[in-house]
Amino acid sequence: MLTLIGLGLCDGLDITMRGKQAVEKAQHVYIEAYTSLLQCSHQELEQQLDRKIIQLSREDMELHISRVLGQAKAEKVVILVIGDVFGATTHADLFLRAKRAGIAVAVIHNASIINAIGTVGLELYRFGRTVSIPYWSQGFEPTSFLDGIKQNQERGLHTLCLLDIKAEEQRFMSVAEALMHLGKAQERSGVRILEEETVVVGVARIGCQDQQIVAAPVATLRNADFGRPPHCLVIPGRLHATPYRGGDAQGLAQSI
């Protein structure tokens, strides 16, 4: 049996009691940690969950996962995933591969940035599609995320921008870097979505005790230091001035 368990956003204490029980009962416990980033060390995670946990690298997930699935045919195998289980295509693939190999698969959900972003004070139901802002590299300089943001803006919807994580290289895009990338992409494509004075929301380490949420103009946030990763960025759509309601990002962010 394979159980995919979301770890939530911060550290080992964010696992659910149901998840903890599954970890206790498993013969093998793995963690996939290259698509996201925990706020504790591997050693701390092992202490919090009171188990030895084996890390799966990108290579393990892409090339050697059949060995893990083989174990799951006869034994209880857990794979821990940061955030929720279906945040990355990798995990949906894994789910399908296991199902098609005749292995029983269970899923234990947890928070992900997709829902926790509600904490900035913007209504979740006023978010359009989520976009990802990738690092550019030679021959790979996409600007298509601008279209996603623009389409949301045209409908008055907010956009959650996920920022690139290259965990194996220890590169994690910051809010400042993301705004720089947005600027470059705007120049390249001619699609304009942000001006210097547009208020956007920079977010870091959401769900952790030292989370940061700051709503400010682009020009200000381009020079702001949000500290340790992961970061993300929200580009608000239409704001409703309802001070005791959720639609007021700036008011709520400032009050945090």
Site residues for a copy of itself per CB under 8 A:
6, 8-10, 12-18, 20-21, 48, 83-87, 89, 92-93, 95-97, 99-100, 107, 109-112, 114-116, 118-119, 121, 123-132, 151, 155, 157, 207, 243-246, 251-252, 255-256
Cβ closer to a copy of itself: 121 or 222? 121
Residues 223, 217: contact at Cβ < 8 Å? no
> Which run of H or of E encompasses 115?
helix 113-116
Cβ closer to a copy of itself: 217 or 246? 246
Cβ closer to a copy of itself: 99 or 192? 99
Cβ closer to a copy of itself: 87 or 202? 87
Residues 218, 195: contact at Cβ < 8 Å? yes
Residues 64, 233: contact at Cβ < 8 Å? no
Residues 201, 215: contact at Cβ < 8 Å? yes
Encoded tokens for 76:
């209880």
CA distance 25 to 2: 12
CA distance 162 to 187: 21
Cβ closer to a copy of itself: 37 or 176? 37
CB of 50 to a copy of itself, least distance (A): 11
CA distances from 60 to 3, 35, 57, 101, 243 (A): 18, 13, 5, 18, 49
